Amino acid sequence: MQRIDQFIRSLAVEAIRDSWSATLPEDQIQVQKTRREFIGDFTIVVFPLLRFSRLSPEETANALGSYMVDQSEMLSGFNVIKGFLNLLVSQKYWIEFLNGDLRSAVYGFTPVHEGSQKVMIEFSSPNTNKPLHLGHIRNNLLGYSISRILKASGKQVRKVNLVNDRGIHICKSMLAWQKFGDDETPESSGMKGDHLVGKYYIKFDQVYKSQIESLVEEGKTRKEAETAAPVIEEAREMLRKWEAEDPEVRALWEMMNNWVYEGFERTYSRLGVSFDQTYYESQTFKLGKEIVQKGVEAGVLYKKEDGSVWADLTDEGLDQKLLLRSDGTSVYMTQDVGTAHQRYNEYGFDSHIYVVGNEQNYHFQVLSIVLKKLGFEWADKLYHLSYGMVELPEGKMKSREGKVVDADDLMDEMETTARQMSEELGKLEDYNGEERNSIYRQVGMGALKYFILKVDPKKNMTFDPRESVDFNGNTGPFIQYTYARIRSVIRKGKGHDKFAGEVHLNDKEISLIRMMYEYPDIIGESSRTLNPSLIANFLYELAKEFNQFYHDYSILSAEKKEEMAMRLLLVEVIGQIIDSGMDMLGIEVPERM
RNA sequence: GGUUCCGUAGCUCAGUUGGACAGAGCAACAGCCUUCUAAGCUGUGGGUCGCGCGUUCGAAUCGCGCCGGAAUCACCA
């Protein structure tokens, strides 16, 4: 069915040509939806047209309005307030739209086919020395949701994870376990593997700090003490052994990493995220060296006397960036050059998104420039989705001080709150334990996910635990509740939903249809800007509008049969959109709650 | 200091390409369940959109300059 806003644009162009002999492109016509406080569906702003009409704003709007309403039966009327022409769309159009496009289960979605654009998206990217925390949750939820949104807008999406499984930080946990662990394992301690390893990471830090203090007391400067503390020297030694593939160190490393992976797997599965492919840094950290060497030969990079390789970025307003250490080993940047190259060759992406916090803005800025310098024409296909930090009401999270919100604990807490709330309301008493638990899980996770995804990714956000467990207002459970209400009505209205199209829509009904009319644009915009919050806020508005409708009008005891059938259809498609929209946020919706 | 990002109600956040008196939720107060799920709905109060200048018929939105905050500028990742 023809998009009515497009139609309005082209009709307006026609009107302007006929009335004032001016030809202008359609995108010059400003069409917006009419604000709530005025009567109408779409509004044309006529101020920009005054130079063609050479009339007052009111006269221009009136002339345009009467021409357009005369010409088309899709428009049923208009009114003019100041320089704004408010157009009414005919009942017929909205009814056909409801009975046509909106019925489709894939309304708003663009199908993916073989030739569709290929997008690779990297997210999560955890370190294997400690469990996941709130910051990782934002990363994972964003990455996963964006992958869903891209898919919905017709992209072939490949989700990848890059696990940072090697380096000095891992050695710290390993060393502390070796020294103080007494062969403790996840089995023997009953701890989740990632938490167990994290415990030794903290243990290392405590010992390290106390050693620094002793050295400072002995008269060393803090800086000296930080490099000379015995325990850090041991960790460095362990890293050297790791690099030299010392069998003992490698065995320990593998054992502890596997504990972590098992723990991560549980956290991921609970979060509902998954990957098509997982890369491990231990397998990719040497990549990029050859490319950098070629860059030196080609003269776009330069080598210092000590053998280290650098990129000179002063042309770009930046400084020098190291790409290979003097001992010939790679740094993070080198590795990313290598993995990007490898991924492009293997997958041939049209775009590659890195979901990484804004603390790495500089890194990705440099990465693009370096790749461009090296002559890769796909350098501009890389996109850093830079999201803001998650802060607590009392300030920043500090992982070494234990001032973090642990991912697993948080999920537990959300589910517990959902359980308490539900038990208080007592709505699921005829469900068995398993069914109830499933709903507590859905609601708890829905609250958490929505709370995080409703915020614009690029902004820093404050996570207030008190606020996050509030399930009223602009929250995931509010939308889930709306869905459950809808499903309940649908179940009761079965058999009364044969809608023929002979009906008069009231303002609330039109308003709902008009909101759903926008859904494809919302998906498009959120895909273009990689911003799930647009969908979250759209769903909230829709749910709120539905709840008002639900309060003001009866569906199952509508006056006429045809009206009831229309309302059942209307409500069903609202439910479908809530379902498909929440699915893009990675949130499940319950039949009951 | 350089670069990037942010500054909207007491708090948390919306506000597509500039458009009609700046919107929600939470918190506070007052109402609405013998009727489709009250995790809902309705109402009241609450703002110099950080400040100033400029562009424009029109600026929370665009430009410049300040003020305030965040991140980053390692032979760490």
Residue A395 pLDDT greater than 90, yes or no: no
Dist. CA A270–CA A194, nearest whole Å: 15
DSSP per residue, A299-313: TSSEE-TTS-EEEE-
pLDDT of residue A292: 93
Provide residues 526-585 of A with CB closer than 7 Å to any strand B atom. Answer: 533-534, 537, 540, 544, 547-548, 550-557
Query: In this predicted model, what pLDDT tens digit does every residue of A32-67 receive, in sequence order?
Result: 999 988 999 999 999 999 989 999 999 999 999 999
What mean pLDDT comes out for the span A303-332? 88
Q: Tell me which of A29-43, A229-243, A307-321, A553-567 is least confident.
A: A307-321
The residue with greater pLDDT, A329 or A544, is A544
pLDDT of residue A224: 84
ipTM computed for the complex:
0.95
Residues near A546 by beta carbon (within 8 Å), at least 6 away in sequence: A482, A486, A512, A571, A574
Dist. CA A542–CA A540, nearest whole Å: 5
Whether the beta carbon of A471 falls within 7 A of nucleic chain B: the reply is yes
Helix and strand element counts for chain A (H, E):
23, 14
Q: Which nucleotide is nearest to A37 (CA to C1')?
A: B20
Q: Which nucleotide is nearest to A470 (CA to C1')?
A: B26
- Using alpha carbons, select from A415, A455, A460 the residue that is nearest to residue A439: A415
A456 CA to B68 C1' distance (Å): 22
Q: Give Cα separations from A445 to A7, A36, A157, A399, A411 (angstroms).
A: 42, 33, 24, 23, 7
pLDDT of residue A222: 83
What mean pLDDT comes out for the span A461-470? 90
Burial class of A535 by CB neighbour count within 10 A (0 to 12, 13 to 18, 19+) = buried
Dist. CA A267–CA A448, nearest whole Å: 14
Q: Give Cα separations from A467 to A440, A448, A477 (angstroms).
A: 18, 10, 13
What mean pLDDT comes out for the span A559-578? 95
Residue pair A282/A328 in contact by the 8 Å Cβ criterion: no
What mean pLDDT comes out for the span A540-559? 95
Residue A401 pLDDT greater than 70, yes or no: no
Dist. CA A225–CA A176, nearest whole Å: 19
Whether the beta carbon of A48 falls within 7 A of nucleic chain B: the reply is yes
A566 CA to B34 C1' distance (Å): 28
Q: Give A399's pLDDT tier (boundaries 50, 70, 90).
A: low
pLDDT of residue A402: 66
Whether the beta carbon of A361 falls within 7 A of nucleic chain B: the reply is yes
Query: In this predicted model, what pLDDT tens digit does every residue of A294-314 receive, in sequence order?
Result: 999 999 999 998 999 999 888
Residue pair A212/A225 in contact by the 8 Å Cβ criterion: yes
CATH code of the domain occupying A4-89: 3.30.1360.70
HSE (side-chain half, CA atoms, 13 Å) at A486: 29
Dist. CA A463–CA A378, nearest whole Å: 37
Whether the beta carbon of A388 falls within 7 A of nucleic chain B: the reply is yes
Q: Which nucleotide is nearest to A327 (CA to C1')?
A: B75
CATH topology assigned to domain A407-584: Isoleucyl-tRNA Synthetase; Domain 1 (1.10.730)
A34 CA to B20 C1' distance (Å): 10
pLDDT of residue A96: 95
Residue pair A336/A367 in contact by the 8 Å Cβ criterion: yes
Dist. CA A360–CA A379, nearest whole Å: 17
Determine phi and psi for A398, rounding to 5 degrees.
Answer: -125, 105
Q: Which nucleotide is nearest to A167 (CA to C1')?
A: B77
- For chain A, give every domain's residue range: 4-89, 123-282+338-391, 407-584
Q: Tell me which of A29-43, A139-153, A384-398 is least confident.
A: A384-398
- Using alpha carbons, select from A25, A23, A33, A19 the residue that is nearest to residue A63: A19
pLDDT of residue A28: 87
DSSP 8-state assignment for residue A317: T
% of chain A at pLDDT higher than 70:
99
pLDDT of residue A286: 86
A332 CA to B76 C1' distance (Å): 9
Closest residue (CA) to C1' of nucleotide B6 is A459
Whether the beta carbon of A591 falls within 7 A of nucleic chain B: the reply is yes
Closest residue (CA) to C1' of nucleotide B14 is A537
Determine phi and psi for A164, rounding to 5 degrees.
Answer: -85, 85
Residue A563 pLDDT greater than 90, yes or no: yes
Q: Give A162's pLDDT tier (boundaries 50, 70, 90).
A: very high
pLDDT of residue A42: 95
Query: What are the tokens at A55?
Result: 């009339």
Query: In this predicted model, what pLDDT tens digit does every residue of A478-530 receive, in sequence order?
Result: 999 999 999 999 999 988 888 988 899 999 999 999 999 999 999 999 999 99
pLDDT of residue A260: 97
A537 CA to B24 C1' distance (Å): 10
Cα end-to-end distance, chain A, whole Å: 36
Q: Give A400's pLDDT tier (boundaries 50, 70, 90).
A: low
Residue A282 pairs in a beta bridge with none
What mean pLDDT comes out for the span A156-174? 94
pLDDT of residue A27: 85
Strand order in the sheet with A31-33: A31-33, A42-45, A84-89, A75-81
What mean pLDDT comes out for the span A536-563? 95
Dist. CA A112–CA A548, nearest whole Å: 36
Question: Which nucleotides in chain B have some atom under 7 angstroms from a protein Cβ?
Answer: 2-7, 11-17, 19-21, 24-27, 35-42, 57-58, 70-77
Closest residue (CA) to C1' of nucleotide B77 is A332
- Using alpha carbons, select from A99, A84, A147, A249 the residue that is nearest to residue A572: A99
What mean pLDDT comes out for the span A215-227? 86
Dist. CA A469–CA A234, nearest whole Å: 44
What mean pLDDT comes out for the span A441-456? 96
What mean pLDDT comes out for the span A354-373? 92
Whether the beta carbon of A325 falls within 7 A of nucleic chain B: the reply is yes
Helix A407-425 and helix A433-453, axial crossing angle in degrees, nearest 10: 120
Tell me the average pLDDT of chain A. 93
> What does DSSP say about strands A461-462 and A390-391: parallel, antiparallel, or unpaired?
parallel
- Using alpha carbons, select from A442, A555, A433 the residue that is nearest to residue A488: A555
- Domain A123-282+338-391 matches domain A407-584 at the CATH topology level: no
CATH topology assigned to domain A123-282+338-391: Rossmann fold (3.40.50)
Q: Which nucleotide is nearest to A83 (CA to C1')?
A: B20
Determine phi and psi for A132, rounding to 5 degrees.
Answer: -75, 145
Handedness of CA A61, A67, A70, A74 (dihedral sign): negative
DSSP per residue, A495-532: T-----S-----HHHHHHHHHHHTHHHHHHHHHHTT-T
A459 CA to B69 C1' distance (Å): 13
| A415: amino acid identity, one letter | E
Q: Which nucleotide is nearest to A281 (CA to C1')?
A: B77
Residue A403 pLDDT greater than 80, yes or no: no
What mean pLDDT comes out for the span A393-419? 86
Dist. CA A84–CA A305, nearest whole Å: 70
Determine how many CB atoms are found less than 10 A away from the CB of residue A359. Answer: 10
